[in-house]
Amino acid sequence: MATRKNAKPKPVPCPDCKGRGEVPTTVLVGRKRRAVGKQSGFCLNCLGTGEASADGE
């Protein structure tokens, strides 16, 4: 009988971006830094992977 392969555990999604790898970032314009909209930005917590970091933060 062949030995069973163990399935890899499912990675935990990043709490900041919820597993997407992107977070909304406000776009600021002008000298008074007026907010004009939002754009998607790179998640700095998981570095765009969507998985929670292994260091426990």
Residue 30 has pLDDT above 90, yes or no: yes
Rounded mean pLDDT of 42-56? 80
Residue 31 has pLDDT above 90, yes or no: yes
> DSSP 3-state assignment of 12?
coil
- Complete DSSP assignment for 15-29: TTTTTSSEEEEEEEE
Mean pLDDT computed over every residue of the chain = 85
* The pLDDT value given to residue 33: 93
Lowest mean pLDDT among 10-14, 23-27, 39-43: 10-14
* The pLDDT value given to residue 27: 93
